[in-house]
């Protein structure tokens, strides 16, 4: 496991714009190298801020949107079209503005979908979809994602893996149902740490004063059960993208010079 890299930007807006530019380049390079790219999206303000910045980027259509596989790190287990669902918010921010191949957009099941209101069955269904997309060159029953993005919660949660709850302790399954989540809604579907760790690169997004303590805890040696963000790392890269406010409590040795 490589040590996490940190990039600190002046403020939330610059972090979103710079992260969007970084993602465009990563996708373009993956498509040039392998003919397609695979990205895992995250919900929340930072995740959606990045998608909105990408939608507004002049370089946006350097991406061949028809050769991009999109997955989700987690989903609020609500009916299709609910404004609180991560996929609904991603569609508004970006997906409805670009020409994606619908068969390559892998939304997590809704609570009124084929699995009904059973989040655990929905999780098993998504795990099966991931396994079906995995190839012999992949590491386990998930495709090798080029980039897996995770917003970081103020309690250091990532995806819907909350401190001390059962989902963060999962070591076998790739997707689980989450019940009693402290962040509403209480019922969710989430990738687990083993699935997250199959990604080539994991990018953790943390902007705002309310993330400063979480960044400090997760980057100062806390265990993954108490601080799930500390357990989120990629096979070849783990990158924390912060703004100065979220980085303000980091030990000086960890805190690289902020960008201009
Ligand atoms: O379903 C969700 O709520 C998200 O996937 C969640 O993991 C989010 O990324 C963090 O809670 C950070 O959210 P903010 O960026 O809004 O603080």
Report which protein residue has its CA nearest ligand 1's atom 2. 43
Report which protein residue has its CA nearest ligand 1's atom 5. 43
Assigned token pair, 28: 């373009």
212 pLDDT above the threshold of 90: yes
Distance from C-alpha of 3 to C-alpha of 238, rounded to nearest angstrom: 7
> Average pLDDT, stretch 116-135?
97
State whether ipTM is beyond 0.90.
yes
Please check whether residue 241 is in contact with residue 18, taking contact to mean a CB–CB distance below 8 angstroms. Answer: yes
pLDDT value at position 217? Answer: 97
Return the bridge partners of 73, or none: none
Give, for ligand 1, the residue of 12, 16, 47, 211 to mutate: max count of ligand atoms closer than 8 Å to Cβ.
47
What does DSSP assign to residue 107?
Answer: P
> Average pLDDT, stretch 46-74?
98
Please check whether residue 186 is in contact with residue 179, taking contact to mean a CB–CB distance below 8 angstroms. Answer: yes
> Average pLDDT, stretch 29-55?
98
Distance from C-alpha of 202 to C-alpha of 151, rounded to nearest angstrom: 11
260 pLDDT above the threshold of 50: no
Give, for ligand 1, the residue of 148, 151, 193 to mutate: max count of ligand atoms closer than 8 Å to Cβ.
151
Give, for ligand 1, the residue of 16, 19, 119, 153 to mutate: max count of ligand atoms closer than 8 Å to Cβ.
153
- What SS3 class is residue 158? strand
Cα of 158 to ligand 1 centre, how many Å? Answer: 7
Cα of 142 to ligand 1 centre, how many Å? Answer: 22
Report which protein residue has its CA nearest ligand 1's atom 7. 159
pLDDT value at position 187? Answer: 98
Higher pLDDT residue, 7 or 1?
A: 7
What does DSSP assign to residue 17?
Answer: H
| Ligand 1 cavity residues, CB under 6 Å | 42-47, 74, 76, 86, 151, 153, 158-159, 183
Structure pTM? 0.97
Task: Report which of 30, 3, 57, 1 is spatially closest to residue 239, judged by C-alpha positions.
Answer: 3
pLDDT digits (tens, 9 = 90+) for 221-240: 999 999 999 999 999 999 99
CB neighbour list of residue 103: distance below 8 Å, 6 or more residues apart:
none
Higher pLDDT residue, 254 or 167?
A: 167
The sign of the dihedral angle between the CA atoms of 6, 1, 43, 163 is negative
Count CB atoms within 10 A of the CB of residue 176: 27
Distance from C-alpha of 34 to C-alpha of 167, rounded to nearest angstrom: 33
């Amino acid at each position: 496991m490589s040590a996490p890299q940190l990039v600190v930007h002046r403020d939330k807006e610059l972090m979103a714009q710079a992260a969007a530019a970084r993602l465009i380049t990563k996708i373009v390079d993956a498509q040039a190298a392998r003919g397609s790219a695979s990205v895992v999206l995250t919900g929340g303000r930072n995740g959606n801020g990045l998608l909105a910045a990408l939608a507004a980027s002049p370089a946006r259509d350097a991406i061949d949107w028809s050769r991009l596989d999109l997955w989700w790190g987690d989903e609020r287990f609500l009916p299709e079209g609910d404004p609180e669902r991560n996929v609904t918010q991603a569609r508004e921010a970006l997906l409805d503005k670009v020409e994606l191949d619908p068969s390559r957009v892998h939304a997590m099941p809704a609570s009124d979908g084929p699995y009904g209101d059973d989040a655990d069955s929905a999780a098993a269904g998504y795990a099966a979809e991931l396994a079906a997309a995995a190839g012999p060159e992949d590491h386990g029953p998930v495709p090798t994602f080029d980039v897996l993005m995770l917003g970081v919660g103020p309690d250091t949660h990532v995806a819907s893996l909350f401190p001390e709850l059962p989902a963060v302790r999962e070591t076998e399954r790739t997707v689980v149902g989450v019940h009693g989540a402290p962040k509403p809604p209480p019922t969710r579907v989430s990738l687990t740490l083993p699935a997250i760790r199959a990604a080539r690169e994991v990018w953790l997004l943390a902007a705002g004063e309310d993330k400063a303590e979480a960044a400090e805890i997760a980057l100062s040696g806390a265990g993954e059960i108490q601080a799930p963000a500390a357990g989120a790392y990629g096979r070849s890269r783990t990158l924390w993208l912060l703004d100065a406010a979220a980085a303000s409590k980091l030990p000086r040795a960890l805190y690289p010079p902020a960008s201009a």
